[in-house]
Amino acid sequence: MKISTIGAINLLPEAQKREIYCQVVPKSLIERFKLPALDGIRAQSLLKFKYAPHSTSVEFSLFHESNFPDPVLYGQLADTMNGQIHILLYILNDPDSPRFNVDRMPDGASTKFGTLQRNLPAEKAALEFGLAPGQVRRGLGMMGAAMHQFELFIKDLGHDIYFVEPLYYHTAIIFERYGFTYQSGRKLMEEIHQGFGPQGRLRARLDGSSPFRQPSAAESTRLRSWAIHDGILGEAFTGVMMYKRVDQSAQVSTCPGCGW
């Protein structure tokens, strides 16, 4: 029987599960960090999975070296109600860049990437360094290669479409630029763009009352995202669901003319 879901993969023997899930790792990432073959014994300490036999989700972490605090690639995938693949989280970290503890409080408690609580000094430092909300390190600039590899994985499972739920405004814009469109939330995205435009209600709130609400944010996707993360909408950024058809680009843009 054709394996087409995360739930079905998780029922397979360990070696088969690893073989299938290894397909999500871009070959260029392996080459960049000179990693061992992912099916080898040494790779088992670098590529780690969390899955249960009857679970419909998987979590994976690829490290460039043992005992490093952050993976170079981290992801969470799950099945949708109708058996499609849903990307819950997908992160590429540059291990050579500084780390900003936006994911934890000074006492070590998790912030859930700033969605549960916020480490404001760490966030301010990350902002000033040029990072976007939720980033603990600079990215690797390999999103194109990662998406290409992921689509090969999706096609191998027999799908022609997959879904993602962006946690932040800027991630939705990034996914737009890689060919995604909206299942829900497009109206919100367009309203946000209008709100940051001339005479917009959000532009008027960029009053410098916090480091995350500077007037320059109106023209920057990254800085808009920080302002939204800071609560400028008056509500949480939620309800956005996106999808992409394999080998196709929807060519959607909800923030035309806005730079990074």
Contact 24, 60 (CB under 8 A): yes
Task: Please give the pLDDT value at position 1.
Answer: 59
Q: Could you read off the pLDDT of 107-159 as tens digits, one per residue?
A: 999 998 888 899 999 999 999 999 999 999 999 999 999 999 999 999 999 99
Task: Please give the pLDDT value at position 111.
Answer: 93
In a domain, 43, yes or no: yes
Separation of alpha carbons 226 and 205, rounded Å: 13
Question: Is residue 42 scored above 90 in pLDDT?
Answer: no
CATH number, domain with residue 129: 3.40.630.30
In a domain, 207, yes or no: no
Tokens read off for 203: 């532009």
Q: Which domain holds residue 154?
A: 6-188+236-245
Separation of alpha carbons 179 and 150, rounded Å: 13
Which of the four pLDDT bands, split at 50, 70 and 90, describes residue 75?
A: very high
Tokens read off for 71: 């993976």
In a domain, 147, yes or no: yes
Number of domains in the chain: 1
Q: What is the largest CA-CA distance in the chain?
A: 60
In a domain, 223, yes or no: no
In a domain, 136, yes or no: yes
In a domain, 39, yes or no: yes
Beta pairing, strands 181-184 & 73-79? unpaired
Task: Please give the pLDDT value at position 9.
Answer: 96
In a domain, 12, yes or no: yes
Reported residue count of the chain is 260
In a domain, 258, yes or no: no
Question: Is residue 213 scored above 70 in pLDDT?
Answer: yes
* Mean pLDDT confidence for 57-81: 95
